[in-house]
């Protein structure tokens, strides 16, 4: 038994030693393929004949203008520089300008992210791809010229560049264009605006505002969408801190997920009669929005659509919405007036939770179920009439409605959870009456 255990331990020690040796050899090989020249670190590519820019040798010391050379020499061999690795110069706060050589074909994701002093970048006509967030939050970057060689631009490549006022695609690009001097990047085949800035003018030929197109776009104060646009995609105007008004044409059918999320100065928006869907968290945390009228054309009102809109005082939900999504108006603390359309069958979880200024609400005769926490924490609600159409009221649906004294329930209700009116005066009255 002892001999077997000893042999097992010896074998285990041998395996560990082999793994350590393998790791050491691997590290040595990696180190041999990397070298530093003029403050920039390079890695020899798998082809053995070209190199990738890996990083600066010292992020803190890299400052001012950077010119990446076309070629570098290491141990007597000269290599062309063909790409810039992802994260290569991230957080180089003192870098002010970059000239990229005409040998580079790819700028990796996050390559220059958070280079907050960068004012100028020269992208050569050899580049075919710019990675996601490549220049995100380069807050001093003023202009960007996209050469006609670039056929792939990643998501949020130039997001949160607050001083970016000129962005232009050179003529002849097979994928992108900047038609009508629009100050934007448009996917030509799809007619989708994919990158905008604070001075973008949306052309009348554009049919879609793409994902993250204006994501974190300081300085953008007003948006007028032309009547060619049918879709505002997910995160299109995400966290635009200066946006105060949006005009939507009678062509838009969809507002995507988080499309206007955290636009905290957005005061007004019109919803056209063409609109069919308001996506999840579409107006989450739009804390200056005061009123919302959802037209009869809208069928889908998704979860968290207007959550935390703390200045919202009134809302009208049209007659085509069949379900008020989870937490749709959660924490709308100033909401005093709600009109629910006559097609709503379900008031979902937390839909009006913590709407503490809501004093009364009329539930239409189309509603069949009131879900968990639907009106919980509506501390100003004094009375509620449940229509005969309602078959179930879930747990905590009206919990902590501390002013609720009058509740009219139909005889036809099939399920009433014992905690539906938890911590309300109505619950206490029921207990005192023994009913």
- Read off the CATH number of the domain in which 356 is found: 3.80.10.10
Tell me, yes or no, whether 107 lies in a domain.
Answer: no
Name beta bridge partners: 4. Answer: none
Q: Give the whole-angstrom CA distance, residue 377 versus residue 340.
A: 19
Structure tokens at 320: 């085509």
Tell me, yes or no, whether 11 lies in a domain.
Answer: no
- Are 141 and 161 spatial neighbours (Cβ–Cβ below 8 Å)? yes
Tell me, yes or no, whether 150 lies in a domain.
Answer: no
Q: What stretches of 166-313 adopt beta strand conformation (E)? A: 166-169, 176-177, 185-187, 192-195, 208-209, 222-224, 231-232, 245-247, 254-255, 268-269, 277-278, 291-294, 300-301
Tell me, yes or no, whether 307 lies in a domain.
Answer: yes
Tell me, yes or no, whether 181 lies in a domain.
Answer: no
* DSSP one-letter code for 49: S
Structure tokens at 3: 């001999």
- pLDDT for position 411: 86
Q: What stretches of 190-288 adopt beta strand conformation (E)? A: 192-195, 208-209, 222-224, 231-232, 245-247, 254-255, 268-269, 277-278
Tell me, yes or no, whether 397 lies in a domain.
Answer: yes
Q: For the chain, how many structural domains are there in total?
A: 1
Question: CA of 269: how far to CAs of 4, 212, 263, 283, 398, in Å?
Answer: 77, 19, 12, 10, 31
Indicate the pTM of the whole model.
0.88
Tell me, yes or no, whether 148 lies in a domain.
Answer: no
Structural domain boundaries enclosing 295: 290-435
- pLDDT for position 432: 53
Q: Give the whole-angstrom CA distance, residue 203 versus residue 227.
A: 10
- The phi-psi region of residue 137 (left if phi > 0; otherwise alpha if psi is between -120 and 50; otherwise beta) is left
Q: Give the whole-angstrom CA distance, residue 311 versus residue 292.
A: 11
Tell me, yes or no, whether 5 lies in a domain.
Answer: no
- Are 288 and 268 spatial neighbours (Cβ–Cβ below 8 Å)? no
- Are 195 and 184 spatial neighbours (Cβ–Cβ below 8 Å)? yes
Q: Give the whole-angstrom CA distance, residue 390 versus residue 344.
A: 11
Q: Give the whole-angstrom CA distance, residue 171 versus residue 149.
A: 10
> Considering just the CA atoms, what is the radius of gyration of the chain in Å?
29
Nearest CA among 173, 172, 222, 174 for reference residue 196: 222
- Tens-place pLDDT, residues 23-63: 333 334 455 699 999 999 999 999 999 999 999 988 777 89
Structure tokens at 30: 């990696």
- Are 408 and 430 spatial neighbours (Cβ–Cβ below 8 Å)? no
C-alpha 418, offset from chain centre: 39
- pLDDT for position 433: 52
Phi, psi (rounded to 5 degrees) for 25: -60, -40
- Tens-place pLDDT, residues 243-264: 999 999 999 999 999 999 999 9
Helices (H) and strands (E) in the chain, counts: 2, 34
> Per residue of the chain (435 residues), what is the pLDDT tens digit?
434 434 443 444 444 444 443 333 333 445 569 999 999 999 999 999 999 999 998 877 789 999 999 999 999 999 999 999 999 999 999 999 999 999 999 999 999 999 999 999 999 999 999 999 999 999 999 999 999 999 999 999 999 999 999 999 999 999 999 999 999 999 999 999 999 999 999 999 999 999 999 999 999 999 999 999 999 999 999 999 999 999 999 999 999 999 999 999 999 899 999 999 999 999 999 999 999 999 999 999 999 999 999 999 999 999 999 999 999 999 999 999 999 999 999 999 999 999 999 998 999 999 999 999 999 999 999 999 999 999 999 999 999 999 999 999 998 899 999 999 999 998 766 655 544
Q: Give the whole-angstrom CA distance, residue 81 versus residue 18.
A: 36
Burial class (CB in 10 A: 0-12, 13-18, 19+), 98: buried
């Amino acid at each position: 038994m002892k001999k077997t255990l000893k042999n097992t331990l010896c074998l285990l020690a041998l395996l560990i030693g082999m793994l350590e040796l393998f790791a050491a050899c691997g590290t040595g090989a990696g180190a041999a393929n990397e070298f530093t020249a003029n403050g920039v670190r390079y890695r020899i590519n798998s082809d053995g004949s070209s190199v990738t820019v890996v990083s600066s040798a010292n992020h803190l010391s890299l400052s001012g203008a950077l010119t990446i050379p076309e070629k570098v020499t290491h141990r007597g061999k000269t290599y062309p520089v063909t790409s810039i690795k992802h994260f290569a110069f991230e957080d180089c706060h003192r870098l002010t300008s970059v000239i990229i050589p005409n040998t580079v074909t790819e700028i990796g994701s996050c390559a220059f992210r958070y280079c907050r002093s960068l004012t100028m970048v020269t992208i050569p006509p050899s580049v075919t791809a710019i990675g996601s967030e490549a220049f995100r939050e380069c807050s001093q970057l003023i202009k960007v010229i996209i050469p006609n060689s670039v056929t792939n631009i990643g998501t949020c490549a130039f997001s949160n560049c607050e001083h970016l006022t000129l962005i232009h695609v050179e003529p002849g690009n097979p994928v992108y264009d900047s038609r009508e001097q629009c100050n934007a990047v448009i996917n030509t085949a799809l007619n989708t605006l994919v990158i905008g800035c604070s001075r973008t003018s949306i052309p009348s030929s554009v049919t879609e505002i793409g994902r993250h197109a204006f994501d974190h776009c300081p300085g953008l104060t007003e948006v007028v969408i032309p009547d060619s646009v049918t879709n505002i995609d997910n995160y299109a105007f995400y966290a635009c801190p200066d946006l105060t008004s949006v005009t939507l044409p009678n062509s838009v059918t969809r507002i995507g997920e988080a499309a206007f999320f955290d636009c905290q100065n957005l005061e007004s928006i019109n919803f056209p009669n063409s609109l069919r869907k308001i996506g999840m968290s579409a107006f989450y945390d739009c804390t200056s929005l005061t009123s919302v009228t959802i037209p009869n054309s809208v069928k889908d009102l998704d979860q968290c659509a207007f959550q935390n809109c703390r200045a919202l005082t009134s809302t009208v939900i049209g007659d085509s919405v069949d379900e008020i999504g989870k937490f749709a108006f959660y924490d709308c603390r100033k909401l005093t007036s709600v009109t629910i359309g006559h097609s709503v069958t379900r008031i979902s979880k937390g839909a009006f939770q913590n709407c503490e200024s809501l004093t009364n609400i009329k539930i239409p005769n189309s509603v069949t179920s009131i879900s968990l926490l639907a009106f919980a924490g509506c501390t100003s609600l004094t009375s509620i009439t449940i229509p005969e159409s309602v078959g179930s009221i879930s747990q905590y649906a009206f919990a902590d409605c501390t002013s609720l004294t009058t509740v009219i329930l139909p005889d036809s209700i099939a399920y009433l959870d014992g905690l539906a009116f938890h911590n309300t005066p109505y619950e206490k009255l029921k207990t005192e009456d023994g009913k």
